Amino acid sequence: MDHQDGPCFSVEDVEILEKISVYEGFFKMQRLKLRHKLINGGWSKELTRECFIRPEAVAVLLYDPYKDNVVLLEQFRIGTLDAHEGPWQMELVAGIVEEGESTQDVAHREAEEEAGTEILDLEYIYEFYPSAGGSSEKITLYCGGIDSTGVGGVHGVEEEGEDIWVQVFSRKEAMHALSENYISNAAGIIALQWLDANWKRLQQKWQ
């Protein structure tokens, strides 16, 4: 990729002066004092930044290439409590990477727990940071090929407070929901836009 000449920064170009834990609950929050090298040379002033600490996560778009269907979940999300459309989000199967698990392991586990279905094949899409300005969370995004026959209903792990409505849509219905902003979370938007560009290839690959 061509780009203008300039510095190539790494973690070695950041000096951590102080790091303290300010909250530990369902999630964690850290406060850091730091400085970093500047693009035009020299160092920044001392900065204080809070960082929301979240483990690595996996999200999976479940796609049935035989019926051209997409499986989406609807569940309560605290982060959208004040959203005009309400705090229930249309989203993908997703979960946190536990110790000793690969991202592929999580994709298969969460598809069974949250949607009651088996992934027949996985295709890697992207890795991304949904809110790097204040959170450490990294998401690995996959598309999972499934058979959507019989998929649907209420799923989730009760002990984890999950109450998940699993719904099957045609690909065209899912794209319409995306265009009407019924899907407003980053993983769902990215995955459906990717599917829009790749569904024909997936049908050839998986059928």
What pLDDT, on the 0 to 100 scale, is given for residue 2?
56
How are beta strands 47-53 and 28-36 bridged, if at all?
antiparallel
Dump pLDDT digits (tens) for 179-200.
Answer: 999 999 999 999 999 999 999 9
- Work out the pLDDT band at 136, boundaries 50, 70, 90: very high
Phi, psi of 163 (to 5 degrees): -140, 90
Domain with CATH 3.90.79.10 in the chain: 57-206
pLDDT digits (tens, 9 = 90+) for 74-105: 999 888 888 888 899 999 999 999 999 999 99
Please tell me the distance from the alpha carbon of residue 203 to that of residue 123, in angstroms, as a whole number: 12
Give residue 6's pLDDT. Answer: 65
pTM over 0.85: yes
- Note whether 141 and 59 are within 8 A (CB): yes
Q: Report, as an integer, the average pLDDT of 127-154.
A: 96
Distance between CA atoms of residues 196 and 199, nearest Å: 6
pLDDT at 202 over 60: yes
Instruction: Read off the pLDDT of residues 26-57 as tens digits, 9 standing for 90 and up.
Output: 889 999 999 999 999 999 999 999 999 999 99
pLDDT for 143-183, tens place per residue?
999 999 999 999 988 888 889 999 999 999 999 999 999 99
Query: Catalytic residues, which ones?
Result: 160
Exposed / middle / buried, residue 73 (Cβ in 10 Å: 0-12, 13-18, 19+)? buried
Assigned architecture for domain 57-206: Alpha-Beta Complex (3.90)
Q: Which residue has the tokens 């303290």?
A: 20
